[in-house]
Structure 1
Amino acid sequence: MLISNDIAGHDAKPEVVTPKGLSQVKEELADVAGIAVNEVDLSQSGHDISRLYQQTLYETQNNPSPIFLTVEKRFELLKNTANEFAARSGIDYTPEQIERVTQDVGKELRIVEIPRGDVHAGGGNVYTFLSQTDKAELSEAYQYALDNDTSLDDVRHGAFALAVTRFREANIAAGVTYAIFDKEESDRLLALNRQNESEVTSTEELETSIKTLTDSFVEKLNFGNLFSSNPLLKNLMQQDSIFDYFAINDPANFNDESRDRFFNL
Structure 2
Amino acid sequence: MAFAISARMDARIVMRRGRGHGMTMLQGKVALVTGAGTGIGKGIAAMFAEQGAKVVVAARRKEKLLETCALAPHAISAVCMDLCSADDRAHAIQTVLDRHGKLDILVSNAGAQLWKTFDETTDEEIETIFSTNLSSTTRLIKSALPALEAAGGNIVIISSTAARYTLSPSQKLSVYSASKAGLNQLARTLAPKLGPRGVRINVVAPGLTRGEYADESLAQDEETLAWVRSVTPLGRAGEPADIARSVTFLASDMASWVTGQVLDASGGWQISGG
Bin for the TM-score computed over the shorter chain:
under 0.3
| Structure with max Cα Rg | 1
- Select the structure that is richer in strand: 2
TM-score after normalising by structure 2: 0.25
Higher relative contact order (CA 8 A, sep 6+): 2
TM-score after normalising by structure 1: 0.26
